[in-house]
Amino acid sequence: MKEKINKFITDYNSVMSYLKVKTSTDPTNNSRQVLAGDSTFVGLKIDLRNIISSVVPSVASGNPKMLSDLGIVIGRDGTLTLQNADILDQKLSKVTAVSDIFNSTSGVATRIQTVLKNMLSASAGQLDVSVKTTSTQITNYTDQIARFDKRLDKHVEKYRNDFLKLQAVMAQVSQQQATITSIMQSYSY
């Protein structure tokens, strides 16, 4: 059981570290990570942190109700640490009491699993909806760019035709100027 709890802490910390990096921004060099500002993943980070820091009401009376009751503490960065292994060893004398904090109906692992299922569901999960929304936005932007390119091409063609007309007028003016100069020279003695 202790090995599974340590694996849970390690896996949870990996997820939180990943989300922290991928949702971060760096104002110093004005860079944003790929998921920065994405409400789905920022919300996931908040949901996970709320789950691990909250009381588990479905455990039996007298049993540990929070991870801190097992000696597991939450750092400022949202990661977990087994700060007091002696407390965990003491609580593990009654395995079901520790198991309930993770696996009961409102247990930490049960609630995390529910959040992840809601996020990752194949057709209606938040991630799928986000992908579909982003895909629709990309299609809309691509269509807008194509329409803009057509308008731009029309403007370019119009300006090209105007320029050609202007060149033709300039050629006529130059020709007329040459004719006028020739006539003027023929009258000057």
pLDDT on residue 60: 84
- Predicted local distance difference test score (pLDDT) of residue 81: 94
| Higher-pLDDT residue of 112, 62 | 112
Q: How far apart are CA 93 and CA 90, in angstroms?
A: 6
Q: How far apart are alpha carbons 112 and 186 in whole angstroms?
A: 100
Predicted pLDDT at 9: 95
pLDDT for 187: 82
Asked whether the predicted pLDDT for residue 24 surpasses 90, the reply is no
Each residue of 146-160: pLDDT tens digit? 999 999 999 999 999
- Whether 124 has a pLDDT exceeding 80, the answer reads no
CA distance 44 to 16: 10
- Chain segment 43-85, per-residue pLDDT in tens: 889 999 999 999 999 888 888 999 999 999 999 888 999 998 8
**Band of residue 136 on the pLDDT scale cut at 50, 70, 90:** very high
User: What is the bridge-based pairing of β-strands 25-26 and 31-32?
Assistant: antiparallel
**Out of 27-31, 64-68, 120-124, least confident range:** 120-124
Q: How confident is the model at residue 189 (pLDDT cuts 50, 70, 90)?
A: low
Instruction: Return the structure tokens found at 107.
Output: 């247990």
Q: What does the alpha-carbon distance between residue 172 and residue 163 come to, in Å, rounded to a whole number?
A: 14
pLDDT above 70: percentage of residues in the chain:
99
pTM of the model: 0.68
Of 35, 37, 48, nearest in space to 9 by CA: 48
Whether residue 164 is predicted with pLDDT greater than 70 in this model: the reply is: yes
Provide the terminal-to-terminal Cα distance of the chain, rounded to the nearest Å. 119
pLDDT at 119 over 90: no
Strands 31-32 and 72-74: unpaired
- Identity at 36, one-letter amino acid code: A
Neighbouring C-beta atoms of residue 55, cutoff 10 Å: 11
Alpha-carbon distance of 68 to 60, in angstroms, equals 17
Mean pLDDT over residues 84-102, rounded?
88
Q: Say how many residues make up the chain.
A: 189
